[in-house]
Amino acid sequence: MGDRGSTVAWTTVGVMMTFRSPVPVLAMVLGVGFIAGCGSDSSPEAAPVATSSATAPTTESTTPVPPPAPVDACATFVGSLTERQRLAQLLTVGVTGTADAVDIMSTEQVGGIFIGSWTDSSTLAYGQVPQINDAAAVPPMVTIDEEGGRVSRVEDLLGADPSARETARTMTPDETYQMALERGLGLKELGITVDYAPVVDVSGQPDDSVIGDRSYSEDPQQVIAYAGAYAAGLRQAGIQPVIKHFPGHGSGSGDSHTGAVTTPPLEQLRQSDLLPYQALSDTGVGIMVGHLDVPGLTEPGVPASISPAAMTLLREGVGYGAAPFTGPIFTDDLSGMAAITDRLGIVAAVEAALVAGADVALWLTTDDVPAVLDNLEEAVATGRLPAAQVDESAATVARFKGAC
């Protein structure tokens, strides 16, 4: 692809990427405070200064009054919700179409909806997302899997984009940024707000394997360069990217859609699969956790998506050199993937994921939302799910989707 205009520099840990974009790109600038010293000239011959109630000097000692604590708008927002509404903000569910989405928003006010391959195409094609927003007290995240290649939900509406692997073979990071920007603008026009992309799995497996050509490369630095460029393009377009599948599906033993998947040991993941998260977790992205059994990290039978140890590793960054992660943690689908459904039903799986530390539980239908919320209310009442943790997650979700 040819010249694309003005140059924009974007930096990740250990990597400098240069993008060329025809539109202005907002630079994130670290604020610098300047403290000016204030003084006055004095002279022994100066006339005495008349005093008043406003200016008279005093010999009495005074204790400075501290400034008021800053108001956390998102905490205030969460405080305005009922407990059930706070819990509902932690759920994102697949919908069959506009009517299904409007109904679940009207009755339970979930935090997000998921547009899948089974969703009636008219929801996006005929501009019906505003109807869903109108039914919501808090506008939901409108989420989609749009990676390019074989994982595309809008190819019929926006045209085809290449897979991640093909992108890395044929394009520069600069061109990848531009492609993601254009795709993101198209998604935004359709009403989408969150894209579960890009994939940051490090993989050299065959193209048609479960990750395969969804991975940019088996070289983690290539993944960082291209996935970082793609995420930056989406964000510039106003779409929130969610990178996946933590802590790394690229060398997993199989397909979590069909059964349990075991990754290499955690120590090996630190050398490769975790490097993209180390580099990209502080760039404003969300992160999706996979249904992955990780030797040295997760307990037997407890995949990462419901593992407190995996959530803590991601949230704190300790153990693989990353900054603490302050964005939302999403689960992979909890209702349609055998790596989790062979172990737990949806009601138990959602509770396990949130208790472990996820902020957003994702699954494919609206059918079980009332039962899930009933159970979560009971989990809070009995202390299985701490109320303070719910509040913190609800504020994180609200901040990510711009509700506060």
Cβ-based neighbours of 51, under 8 Å, separated by 6 or more = 57
Q: How far apart are CA 99 and CA 94, in angstroms?
A: 12
The residue type of 195 is: D
The whole-angstrom separation of Cα 342 and Cα 347 is: 13
Q: Which residue of the set 103, 255, 257, 367 is catalytic?
A: 257
> Residue 368 corresponds to which tokens in the numbers above?
């079980």
Give backbone dihedrals phi and psi of 288, rounded to 5 degrees, phi first: -100, 135
If phi > 0 it is left, if psi is from -120 to 50 it is alpha, else beta; for residue 248 that is left
Q: Of the residues 100, 273, 332, 333, which is catalytic? A: 332
Contact 104, 366 (CB under 8 A): yes
CB within 8 Å of 46: residues ≥ 6 apart = none
Question: Which helix (DSSP H) or strand (DSSP E) does residue 182 occupy?
Answer: helix 173-190
Question: Can you list the pairs that 3-8 forms with residues at least 24 positions away whose Cβ atoms lie under 8 Å?
Answer: 4/174, 4/175, 4/178, 8/177
Q: 290 and 303 in contact (C-beta within 8 Å)?
A: yes
Contact 115, 106 (CB under 8 A): no
Q: Is residue 332 annotated as a catalytic residue, yes or no? A: yes
Mark whether 249 is an active-site residue: no
- Give the C-alpha separation, 75 to 221, whole Å: 37
CA distance 308 to 354: 9
Please return the burial class of 30, using the count of CB atoms within 10 Å of its CB with bins 0-12, 13-18 and 19+: exposed
Exposure string (b/e) for 155-165, b if CB count within 10 Å is 16 or more?
A: eeebeebbbbb
Q: Which residues are part of the catalytic machinery? A: 257, 332
